[in-house]
Chains A and B, each alone.
Chain A
Amino acid sequence: MKAGIVVFPGTNRERDMAIALRTVTGKAPAMIWHRETELPDLDLVVLAGGFSYGDYLRCGAMAAHAPIMTAIRGFAEAGGHILGVCNGFQILTEAGLLPGALLRNAALRFLSQDCHLRVERNDTPFTRNWTTGDVFRTPMAHGDGNYIADADTIRALDDEGRVAFRYARPDGRVDPGDRLSNPNGSINAIAGVLSANLRICGMMPHPEDLVDPLMGGEDGKPLFEGLVEALVR
């Protein structure tokens, strides 16, 4: 799998993501500067976490109009695989590549803590190394992760099985009203969503920060291992 990470001004989790990708592929991913207008030959484009352009407008709104985004839209239209984490998820929604939006956390505070995610389907390149219903632990670190979309969109996401992950209790129970298990207040406890072709995935938490027992576990690793298996060529 050839992976590339896009670096916007203010991206700050590109190194974490590079470590996670290197852990499973054995080679360093390409780093792609936001001013580029073409992508190299890639199997996976990753939009990493951070505060692109300071997030001084809405989170991700400026990055969605960066020069590289035209190439990324083309990559998506051609059926390319894209993973957006945290600010990367926000950028994908602002770019219209994923539905919905991310509001301020319900408590109006930045939240940096572990959360648990339930895997909603395992027949996608992002989730294939889990079993549907599996629960895994992952760090989250964001101020604006409160997922929202209009009722029709939410219904469509549910009907089409386009929710990849939901915030859950460690035992797998999902309770959107429970601030302990759904800390940012996301609608229907949605933590990650998929594009219609299941090739674009956006999620708020950071599985890339839990791929090493030394850092507290490897709970995030199946996502990257699954991508390597799915995108091998």
Chain B
Amino acid sequence: MSSGSAGQKPVDQGLAQEFGLTADEYGNVLSIMGRTPTLTELGIFSVMWSEHCSYKSSRVWLKTLPTTAPWVIHGPGENAGVVDIGQGLAAIFKMESHNHPSFIEPYQGAATGVGGILRDVFTMGARPVANLNALRFGSPDNPQTRRIVDGVVRGVGGYGNCVGVPTVGGEINFHPAYDGNPLVNAMTVGVARQDRIFLSAAAGVGNPVIYVGSKTGRDGIHGATMSSSEFDEDALAKRPTVQVGDPFVEKLLIEACLELMATDAIVAIQDMGAAGLTSSSVEMAGKGGVGIDLDLDAVPQRERGMTAYEMMLSESQERMLIVIRPDRTEVARAIFDKWELDFAVIGHLTDTGHIVVRHQGQVEADIPLDPLAEQAPIYRRPTAPSPAPAPLGPITDPIGIEQALIRLIGCPDLASRAWVYNQYDSTVGGQTVKRPGAADAAIVKIEDTSIGLALTTDCTPRYCRADARMGGAQAVAEAWRNIVATGARPLAVTDNLNFGSPEKPEVMGQFVSAIEGMGEACRALDFPVVSGNVSLYNETRAPDGSSVSILPTPAIGGLGVLDDVTAAIGLSMPADCTLVLVGATAGELGQSLWLREVHGREDGPPPTLDLAAERRNGDFVRARILAGDILACHDVADGGLLVTLAEMVMAGDVGCVLLAPQSGMRPEAFWFGEDQSRYVVAVRDVDAFTLAATQAGVETRVLGHSGGSGLTLPSGATISTARLNAVNSAFFPALMDQ
């Protein structure tokens, strides 16, 4: 056994602690190994047992989420979730965070986030057809925010545009709680034939293990460990742990892997993501119940003199590990030669049940795989309940409806995102039916079929902070609603659970409550979780030295399907339609954007969510869309009803004329309350529509009609479309192009 290179620190509990292992965890390492581990072995244990790779604080709770449905082909546990979308095809999708790297180095952090999630999807045999993202930034007033927005947007675009996968949707929030810890959650959706899905469980003792893609360098070493700890004042000094992406190589890797996948050569395949060669080899062998021998001298290396420790821990990007049929090695080599990518046989499967790593004639690691996986730590950390938000009390309207609307559509959370999405190629592939901003969910057609996918990302963190259980349920419900509003049938979600430190009981309480709420909504809406990612320790130091948690942010990526994509509808209305509100309004202003933007208050209970009503209203709306009765549809979300209507006007060139609000309710509560489970629809035959609604037990209310130019309020005052657009589109250029 190698004692490691000269000059290395001795392996002991102190070093284990530096690597992020607790004393108990290190004790467990010693008992598994029966000796002091080598440096490389300690590195392997520390990354495999990091929060990022082991989900040690979250696993017991994640297991409570519903993950099955007749249309689910593979749920959590594979590289991405897989659902049946008809015609023998499957959608493969997942969302993943790259939060910590994106604060340290926004461009590369975001870019490699996109690259990593793309690999999770194409490693299963899918051609990526769409990217989305969910981004959270600090206050626009914070001088750091501009740098981070600029880098993240350039990084998302720089990677996605070059690989040629359209970026079709996403969401952005600003809040001071993200000042030192932005959230970058990237989602990829791919499509594969159901009989050509590739999994990661290795099989076949003696089968060669192939390394393909970029060379291994010293970048990203211990990235997974960094993602599993809080930031301190030295966060920016961690820049060397951020990986550097090469989207050009990724594009070649996609084409080469898909070409190889069309043959019968592959036994198992996995990308080298977090913890690189370590996690891919350990997980592939572990899932297959085999052993694996690796010869690091064969690994393509970018730098000279790399040690076994560095190679096993490197998070260099654009690399894949493949177990292959031995008689197909040359077929595979020829494909990777064609695409000018590195290809090396770096090991083979064994029957030892161990991972054995050799380098320069020495055994650098020899670890039994079963205990490495089975004795990984699992924590049921203490939780503390958050206090229930106090009721709002009486509220006045100091500025009136028109002024409030103008203020809301110009505010950072509602301002047009065109400045951002116009930097993302949304049309490459030629299949984008609804581009960003055109509908509640992006619609992408599957080439050479009639099938359309409806895709969205959603979360309302301020609701989650006020009531994590309601917020978790609301994130799922809003994703479901956004898919329904296009006419698509919601199928499944991927989740990206971004929270603060799990070692704080109140954060752990938020986490557990949010998962409970998500689970309730997923069950009520038949909308299971098929993949996901957890990002904890999203904390920053306040000036006084205290640690500040982000808002709880369980971001939901939703996927739905249209059997006939031509049925999809969007926001923009034809003239001479009746505008009808579907769903009941009580005028709930707690946690509303109106309260924040008009009164500067972020309090009160979030709106209530009745999942039975959600289901009833949504099923009704979707049926009427598919029947052709609804010509435009927009769910009522942030900002409430009047903002919804303004967005429908801005989406096209047809205005609307509104009737008086519901009697017995204050106008601001009616127009700006954020009551859930509601849609605004444009219909031609209002009598037939409302009759059908009554028969379905769904409440409706006529709001006015479409036509003319601009938005005409019940007072008779008209806000021109040009003014709406000018106010709505001012925020991002003012912040970023100054």
Binding site for B on A (CB under 8 A): 9-10, 12-13, 15-16, 19-20, 49-51, 53-56, 107, 109-113, 139, 141, 143, 206, 208-209, 212, 214-216
Contact = CB atoms under 8 A, between A and B. Distances in A.
Interface in B388-433: 418, 421-433
Interface string B318-352: 00000000000000000000011000000000000
B290 interface: no
A51 B247 CA distance: 10
B445 A13 contact: no
Given A112-B427, A208-B430, A10 B251 contact: yes
B610 interface: no
B430 A12 contact: no
B565 interface: yes
28 contacts: A9-B339, A9-B340, A10-B162, A12-B162, A12-B428, A13-B430, A15-B447, A16-B427, A19-B447, A49-B428, A50-B164, A51-B164, A51-B247, A54-B248, A54-B249, A55-B248, A109-B423, A110-B158, A110-B423, A110-B425, A112-B161, A113-B422, A141-B426, A209-B428, A209-B430, A215-B431, A215-B445, A216-B435
Contacts of B424: 110, 112
A53 B422 CA distance: 24
A159 B211 CA distance: 57
Question: Among A50, A208, A214, which residue has the most Cβ atoms of chain B within 10 A?
Answer: A214
B251 A51 contact: yes
Contacts of B430: 13, 15-16, 19-20, 208-209, 212, 215
B432 A215 contact: yes
Contacts of A208: 430
Nearest to B426: A112
B140 to A, nearest CB: 19
B362 interface: no
B144 interface: no
B248 A56 contact: yes
Given A15-B447, A215-B432, A51 B248 contact: yes
B703 to A, nearest CB: 28
B162 A51 contact: yes
Contacts of B422: 111-113
A188 to B, nearest CB: 24
Nearest to B452: A214
A13 B421 CA distance: 19
Interface string B148-174: 000000100110011110000000000
Nearest to A56: B248
B702 interface: no
A153 B426 CA distance: 34
B265 interface: no
A114 to B, nearest CB: 9
Which 7 pairs between the two chains have the least Cβ-Cβ distance? A12-B164, A54-B248, A16-B430, A141-B425, A51-B162, A209-B427, A139-B427
B565 A214 contact: yes
Contact of B248 (A10, A13, A141): A10
Contact of B433 (A16, A53, A107, A215): A215
Nearest to B153: A109
A16 B164 CA distance: 11
Interface residues of B, number: 35
Contacts of A56: 248
A107 B733 CA distance: 11
A110 B164 contact: no
Contacts of A112: 161, 421-427
B566 interface: yes
Contacts of A141: 161, 425-428
A175 B231 CA distance: 50
Question: Among B157, B248, B435, which residue has the most Cβ atoms of chain A within 10 A?
Answer: B248
Nearest to B158: A110
A15 B164 CA distance: 10
A13 B154 CA distance: 21
Question: Among B339, B421, B428, B430, which residue has the most Cβ atoms of chain A within 10 A?
Answer: B430
A214 B568 CA distance: 10
B566 A12 contact: no
A56 B693 CA distance: 58
Given A16-B427, A16-B429, A215-B433, 20 more contacts: A10-B162, A16-B428, A49-B428, A51-B164, A54-B162, A54-B248, A55-B162, A109-B154, A110-B154, A111-B423, A112-B422, A113-B418, A141-B161, A141-B427, A208-B430, A209-B430, A212-B430, A214-B433, A214-B445, A215-B431
Given A16-B428, A54-B248, A56-B248, A110 B161 contact: yes
B215 to A, nearest CB: 15
B247 A54 contact: yes
A160 to B, nearest CB: 32
Interface in B525-578: 565-566
Contacts of B249: 54
A15 B251 CA distance: 14
B246 interface: yes
A55 B248 CA distance: 9
Contacts of B447: 15, 19
A49 B163 CA distance: 12
A207 to B, nearest CB: 11
Contacts of B163: 12
A55 B246 CA distance: 11
Interface in B348-394: none
B260 interface: no
Contacts of A20: 430
A209 B166 CA distance: 12
A54 B157 CA distance: 14
Question: Among A19, A109, A112, A206, which residue has the most Cβ atoms of chain B within 10 A?
Answer: A112
B89 interface: no
A51 B161 CA distance: 9
A110 B159 CA distance: 12
Contacts of A50: 164
A206 B430 CA distance: 10
A215 B157 CA distance: 21
Given A12-B163, A110-B423, A113-B422, A53 B248 contact: yes
Contacts of A139: 427
B252 A10 contact: yes
A209 to B, nearest CB: 5
Contacts of A216: 435
A15 B429 contact: yes
A59 B428 CA distance: 18
A110 B445 CA distance: 24
A9 B427 contact: no
Contacts of B162: 10, 12, 51, 54-55
B562 to A, nearest CB: 11
Nearest to A143: B161
B246 A13 contact: no
Contact of A13 (B428, B432, B433): B428
A20 B431 CA distance: 12
Contact of A214 (B154, B429, B566): B566
A208 B445 CA distance: 16
B115 to A, nearest CB: 13
A55 B431 CA distance: 24
Nearest to A51: B162
Contacts of A12: 162-164, 251, 428
Contacts of A206: 427
A50 B430 CA distance: 13
Contacts of B340: 9
Contacts of B425: 110, 112, 141
Contacts of A49: 428
Given A110-B423, A110-B425, A112-B423, A9 B252 contact: yes
A25 B447 CA distance: 18
Nearest to B161: A110
A63 to B, nearest CB: 12
